[in-house]
Amino acid sequence: MFSFFKKKKIIPHIKLSGVIGNVGKFKQGLDFSGQEEIISKAFALKKAPCVAITVNSPGGSPVQSHLIYNFIRVQAKKNKKKVIVFAEDVAASGGYLIACAGDEIYANSSSIVGSIGVIYSSFGFTELIKKIGVERRVHTAGKNKSTLDPFQEEKKEDIERLKNIQLDLHKDFIEVVEKSRGSKLKKTEVELFSGEFWSGRRAKDLGLIDGVGDANKILREKFGEDVVIKKFEKSKSWLSKKLSSSNDHVDQLANILDEKSVWQRYGL
């Protein structure tokens, strides 16, 4: 007879969206310091049975990805809460690493998931400066200080050194995925750690996610139709709003192109 006094379940829902790390001259991407407070507040909601996190990111900084992943796992353990992650358009590279903080991962059938690898890209301008008659002068203390200078010829030892660093980072990434997904991974079908990425439907077959569905659908299936989904999302500061409305169109264009190049790896 007192059922109408029963409190509805509240699920805190964090949205982590954007390229991970600093992007462009003024634009701040998705990083740990910018999300720490929001994540802490979401996990502090005492009676919440879980914390939901939506990830929409093509990746970026390995360090910031690990910091966010680790902080979510620490908060989950500290507050004894389950974490359910939802991939939106894309959870790839560092975005998928963050998604691995979830006890369960879901995605849309058309989401892009995976890209478990490490990439470095640059340009070489040696022929250009020769054509325009520019002489490059570099003075260093430390023989490797000018490693991978785009205005000098690539050196074999520089490439090998970079490759070793990439292999270390890749190993760290693989360890996170294997720890998170465990026996769910279907390693016999394809090479999961080659840097390849898949649709959400295919990612489910490979064990990279647990199911297909969006946050509203899955959370209501799990906790009832009357569940309250409370959004936790960082609002733009006054300064970032001011900078984003800058009249410097060159800076705005550089920011857009910088970020767009990362998303375009996944056809977005």
Domain count within the chain = 1
**Of residues 20 and 122, more confidently modeled:** 20
pLDDT band at 213 (very low <50, low <70, confident <90, very high): very high
Encode pLDDT of 171-180 as tens digits.
888 899 999 9
pLDDT band at 219 (very low <50, low <70, confident <90, very high): very high
Query: In which region does residue 244 sit, left (phi positive, over 0), alpha (psi from -120 to 50) or beta (all else)?
Result: alpha
Which residues, 6 or more positions from 214, have their beta carbon under 8 angstroms from its beta carbon? 86, 106, 108
Encode pLDDT of 173-201 as tens digits.
889 999 999 899 987 767 888 888 899 99
Give, in degrees to the nearest 5, the angle at Cα 70 between 160 and 161.
5
Structural domain harbouring 247: 7-117+176-266
Residue 212's pLDDT is what?
A: 95
**Of residues 27 and 232, more confidently modeled:** 232
- Token readout for 100 is 């691995």
Encode pLDDT of 109-146 as tens digits.
999 998 876 665 555 556 666 677 676 666 666 666 55
Distance CA 16, CA 124 (A): 34
Asked whether residue 162 is assigned to any structural domain, the reply reads no
Residue 243's pLDDT is what?
A: 47
Asked whether residue 151 is assigned to any structural domain, the reply reads no
Asked whether residue 153 is assigned to any structural domain, the reply reads no
Distance CA 100, CA 62 (A): 14
- Token readout for 106 is 């879901």
Q: Which CATH number do you get for residue 226?
A: 3.90.226.10
Q: Are strands 104-107 and 82-92 parallel, antiparallel or unpaired?
A: parallel
Asked whether residue 45 is assigned to any structural domain, the reply reads yes
Encode pLDDT of 77-107 as tens digits.
999 999 999 999 999 999 999 999 999 999 9
Residue 193's pLDDT is what?
A: 84
Residue 236's pLDDT is what?
A: 54
Residue type, 118: V
Q: List the catalytic residues.
A: 93, 145
Q: Mean pLDDT lowest for which of 15-24, 90-99, 206-215?
A: 15-24
